[in-house]
A and B are shown apart, each in its own frame.
Chain A
């Protein structure tokens, strides 16, 4: 158990819909990272927050947005969902930019 929690574990929705994925970092970790992993693909870096502020941005679509709240949990919002958005979404946390600890992931299926 990495100490990073993600909810929900599974999510099934339809095209065009909007979903919110939630991540609670390890106690004491200020940084949160979001990654997308499509079937048989590598991990694509989406975005990183540090203590509530966006620090780094990767290949995140405009339909996707994220934020980190004062209690340091983070949410990834995915809107106007397409079939190709079906993937595993991982959250990771670290103290600052140090070692990352990954959560178990949220499996999103868009039908």
Chain B
């Protein structure tokens, strides 16, 4: 299974942008990059996903490196409600979504 590497934790000030990095050096050409987040005491929720091009949605932006060996989830203005564990996952065709340990984001008021 292709693996991802993320920092254990990050901090951000409220109302400032946050860049959450993910390394996936063993990614294959057909692997999609997915991001999920888990708010305290809740199940994970989908944030965004992409294959090659950068993606934007109402929650966040996903910037994918040209060689696809890394990606960055961008929260444009962090709020206290964005404090969560953020997971970067590679989805291949095997139906397995393997979650790593994720990045715990702390947002400071």
A residues contacting B by CB (< 8 A) are 2, 4, 31, 33, 35, 42-45, 48, 50, 55-56, 58, 90, 92, 97, 99-105
Residue of A31, A35, A42, A103 touching B95 (CB-CB under 8 A): A31
Chain A interface, >50% SS class: strand
Please, which residue of chain B has its CB at the minimum distance from the CB of A4? B43
Binding site for A on B (CB under 8 A): 34, 36, 38, 42-46, 49, 87, 91, 93-102
| Pair B95/A102 contact, Cβ less than 8 Å | no
* Contact indicator A43/B94 (Cβ below 8 Å): no
Given contacts A97-B91, A97-B93, contact A102 B99 (CB under 8 A): no
- State the Cβ distance, B20 to closest chain A Cβ, in Å: 16
Q: How far, in whole Å, are A55 and B94 apart by their CA atoms in the complex?
A: 8
User: With A97-B91, A97-B93, A99-B49 given, is the CB distance from A104 to B99 under 8 Å?
Assistant: no
CB-based closest 7 A-B pairs? A102-B43, A43-B99, A56-B95, A42-B101, A56-B96, A97-B95, A55-B95
Bound-complex Cα distance A43 to B89 (A)? 11
Beta-carbon contact of B99 and A42 below 8 Å: yes
Instruction: State whether A35 and B99 are in contact (beta carbons under 8 Å apart), knowing that A100-B46, A102-B43, A104-B43 are contacts in the complex.
Output: yes
